[in-house]
Amino acid sequence: MNPFSSGTRLRDMIRAIRACKTAAEERAVVRKECAAIRTSMNENDQDYRHRNLAKLMFIHMLGYPTHFGQMECLKLIASAGFPEKRIGYLGLMLLLDERQEVLMLVTNSLKQDLNHSNQYIVGLALCALGNICSAEMARDLAPEVERLLQFRDPNVRKKAALCTIRIIKKVPDLSENFINPAAALLKEKHHGVLITGIQLCTDLCKVSPEALEFLRKKHTDGLVKTLKDAVNSPYTPEYDISGIADPFLHIRLLKLLRVLGQGDADASDVMNDILAQVATKTESNKNAGNAILYECVETIMSIEDNGGLRVLAINILGRFLSNRDNNIRYVALNMLMKAITVDAQAVQRHRATILECVKDSDASIQKRALELVYVLVNETNVKPLTKELIDYLEVSDQEFKGELTAKICSIIEKFSPEKNWYIDQMLKVLNKAGNFVKDEVWHALIAVISSAPDLHGYTVRALYKAFQTSSEQESLVRVAVWCIGEYGDMLVNNVGMLDIEDPITVTESDTVDVVKIAIKHHALDLTTKAMALIALLKLSSRFPSCSERIKDIIVQHKGSFVLELQQRSLEFNSIIEKHQNIRSALVERMPILDDATFNTRRAGSLPAAASTSGGASLNLPNGVAKPSAAPLVDLLDLSDDLPAPSSSGGDFLQDLLGVDLSPAPTQSGIGQIQKAGTDVLLDLLSIGTPVQSSSPITDILSSSQNDKSPIATLDALSSPSSLSAQATSSARAAPMMDLLDGFGPSPLKPEDNGSVYPPLVAFQSNSLRITFNFSKQPGNPRTTLIQATFTNLTPNVFTDFIFQAAVPKFLQLHLDPASSNILPASGNGSITQNLRVTNSQHGKKSLVMRTRMSYKFDNKVTLEEGQINNFPQDLGSWSN
């Protein structure tokens, strides 16, 4: 016989396919077999139709297309014999689904078979309908299925019940037709029919409120009696599993009782006794018993309140936690997570067992137990639970340590009873897992340390001791370096000793050694090194005897390839060498944060950030209330040449210029940048985002002197992100000079200018007038020097005056600091500020500028804006 003819048996085809050594050989065999089957179908070969369909089903299970055989299924279903119908219905369930249009053709055959005198053919039709029934078929065949729920044969009734579940899920509107027939199945003695009847009633309750109310009132007592009979039934070999009579029936009954008892106190009272009996009599040494106990616990936790039963249920879960089977422990932890919202006190009794689960070797159990412990923590148990978790932190797996550390830090922040305890516990975490601590955590710790003046000495000594043993923990080193920079003198002098402390001897040189070691051990960490340089600058003022040594350490970074470190090194070295008179004011201690920060942390809020109060002022990081900026608008909508706005960060420079401060140099100019809305901890830590270029330090000192605030000066010096961003490559190429010798603004003198030009009123409103005086430098026609004069036209004195300007990208703008930030009233004085504009399109495009002025009077901030398009036309091509 041809091995690929329609007459080959199924086993021969399977043997040929399994003998293939490659996928290509298998595809060839399948292709030839499918061709033979198609030929047989075209010849309408009825003798081998069932065999061909059997082979098609095997080919379908291998993943090959078999859609061409769908009509063969319908032909076999229409046959009179049981064997053909069986193959046909099997092929129908396997090769088709409810989305196939061909399925509509089988509805009539199904209806005939559901009314067939042969119960086995009826069973085939019910099985097929239960698997592939569509909504249309459900509506057409629901009456036949409803009738079969009362069929004489239990197997047919069971299949009819399963088919009904499919029908009511597809068409919930039909559920009311099945309420009474389904309720009748609850009285069945045959366990198979009873289980399917219970499942049908459960699904009816979920889709039909009428069915739920009917079963709750009429059949709750009957279900309780059925469950009691099942619990107390003697040994029955037919249903026995591990010494328990039909655990599947137990579980189905408990699920239905849970649905009926949820939200109904009367139904819950009826089932309380039997639930207690199931919970106490069921053996837990077998899986079947544990399954029943789990469903019993879930039912108890879902029905209406009964305190005694819930305690019993939670105790069962506690026993589950001691089971050696990981699956049982995992489901117990899941259930306890739900139970804690109902009866937290009962769950607290199993706290020790839950803590042991945190130390389990199974990762899933570890994580679930940790989540449960986190929920269990409150003000009364936070100290013992935190101690247990921190003790385990040291020996926990590296993969689990990060998640464990995050939870411990969150617990400490949320439930800390006092600052002393908070600091102690956080230092333990940093000591054991500092490399896993997130930035916002140690930021918060520094904020809390800052707000606790009585603990400054204690904290810096504790950090000094911890550093000696754990200098490799990155976050610990950062906090230690910051505290030593701020409170190093307290460390040396043993200031603020607590009763629980023993005095230690630390010299000034030892303190500097700590910072030096931090720089050496964390050479690749920019943040740590930047913080260390700040700390050294502060220590140079606190410890004058170590000033030279500190200068030697700082100057080592003057050749660093990281611009921020290089800049800090050069500026700090200049401060130490030539500006001792202002150094102490620059490096004063950071101001103490108010207690609101700490309380916000305890409430579990987001990390503290500068917030706006009433829209009138911003609480800046240095604690000084300054005017808030009005909502920023795009100042660069002057021409199509402008770059698209960037949405990154909250920095005024980016909003004003609409550019991204990435390492690529910016081409736009900026007048004066006012830093606001910065995170509290950026000022505390004196760090910021590295920039690629910065202005001469004279701008910083001038603005700081106008502010009369040493803190503002320190902030400007220590945070490169706050520096003006207008320096260009030509500025960097200039000869090295003392950046702190104070190149202040000097008014332009006519005799110094190569040319002069008539003054221009650039802006005038009811309150303010701006006049521009122009000049050119000899030999540099591209650059225009502008002296801006600001005059107050009102009888009110303007304070906190700020002038900002923006230009298109073909211009470069440099602003010197203003002569003052106070503008006298009624024109009795003025403020001057020098601008330098370089036009890269000199001779082609004229100057254009957008301006913004902000000032304050009567505690109100006023913002004025203007656009200057009336620059003299010949200014762009003006030359000497």
**What residue ranges in 553-660 does DSSP mark as E strands?**
612-613, 617-619, 625-627
Among residues 785, 783, 779, 784, the alpha carbon closest in space to that of 747 is found at 785
pLDDT range class, residue 809, cuts 50, 70, 90: confident
Beta bridge partners of 777: 780
3 or 458, which is more confident: 458
Residue recorded with tokens 């409120």: 209
Spatial separation of the C-alpha atoms in residues 442 and 463, rounded to whole Å: 13
In angstroms, how far is the first alpha carbon of the chain from the final one? 108
pLDDT range class, residue 193, cuts 50, 70, 90: very high
Spatial separation of the C-alpha atoms in residues 22 and 3, rounded to whole Å: 19
- Return the pLDDT at 6: 52
Report, as an integer, the average pLDDT of 384-390. 92
Average pLDDT along the chain: 79
Spatial separation of the C-alpha atoms in residues 418 and 151, rounded to whole Å: 74
658 pLDDT more than 60: no
In terms of residues, how long is the chain?
A: 880
- Return the pLDDT at 14: 92
- Return the pLDDT at 599: 53
785 or 632, which is more confident: 785
Report, as an integer, the average pLDDT of 686-692. 39
Spatial separation of the C-alpha atoms in residues 145 and 141, rounded to whole Å: 7
Provide the sign of the torsion angle of the four alpha carbons 376, 380, 386, 388, taken in this order. negative
Report, as an integer, the average pLDDT of 307-336. 91
634 pLDDT more than 70: no
Among residues 871, 870, 876, the alpha carbon closest in space to that of 840 is found at 876
Full-model pTM: 0.60
Q: Please tell me what DSSP assigns to residue 817.
A: P
Q: Percent of the chain beyond pLDDT 90?
A: 41
238 pLDDT more than 80: yes
Spatial separation of the C-alpha atoms in residues 10 and 53, rounded to whole Å: 10
Query: Which range, of 254-263, 584-593, 601-610, averages the lowest pLDDT?
Result: 601-610
- H/E stretch holding 52 reads helix 49-61
Report, as an integer, the average pLDDT of 330-358. 90
Report, as an integer, the average pLDDT of 455-466. 92
653 pLDDT more than 80: no
Report, as an integer, the average pLDDT of 49-56. 88
Structure tokens at 676: 């606001």
- Return the pLDDT at 861: 86
Among residues 650, 649, 646, the alpha carbon closest in space to that of 612 is found at 650
pLDDT in tens, 63-119: 999 888 888 888 888 888 898 899 999 998 988 877 877 778 888 899 999 999 999
Structure tokens at 523: 């050479």
Question: Which of 491-505, 706-720, 746-760 is the most confident on average?
Answer: 491-505
645 pLDDT more than 80: no
- Return the pLDDT at 623: 31
- Return the pLDDT at 46: 74
Query: Which range, of 39-48, 282-291, 798-807, 853-862, averages the lowest pLDDT?
Result: 39-48
452 pLDDT more than 80: yes
719 pLDDT more than 50: no
Among residues 547, 548, 476, the alpha carbon closest in space to that of 517 is found at 476
Report, as an integer, the average pLDDT of 164-184. 93
Q: Percent of the chain beyond pLDDT 70?
A: 80
pLDDT in tens, 82-94: 988 999 999 989 8
Report, as an integer, the average pLDDT of 511-539. 88
- Return the pLDDT at 603: 53
pLDDT range class, residue 43, cuts 50, 70, 90: confident
Query: Which range, of 222-236, 493-507, 712-726, 792-806, averages the lowest pLDDT?
Result: 712-726
* HSE-CB for 335 with a 13 A CA cutoff: 26
Q: Is 175 exposed, middle or buried (0-12, 13-18, 19+ CB in 10 A)?
A: buried
- Return the pLDDT at 671: 36
pLDDT range class, residue 239, cuts 50, 70, 90: confident
Report, as an integer, the average pLDDT of 395-420. 90
Spatial separation of the C-alpha atoms in residues 552 and 515, rounded to whole Å: 13
Spatial separation of the C-alpha atoms in residues 188 and 185, rounded to whole Å: 5
Report, as an integer, the average pLDDT of 737-760. 49
pLDDT range class, residue 608, cuts 50, 70, 90: very low
Order of all β-strands in the sheet with 768-777? 755-764, 768-777, 780-792, 830-839, 811-815
Among residues 223, 143, 213, 124, the alpha carbon closest in space to that of 181 is found at 143
698 pLDDT more than 70: no
Structure tokens at 674: 């006012």
- Return the pLDDT at 451: 87
Residue 562 phi/psi, 5-degree rounding, is -90, 115
pLDDT range class, residue 613, cuts 50, 70, 90: very low
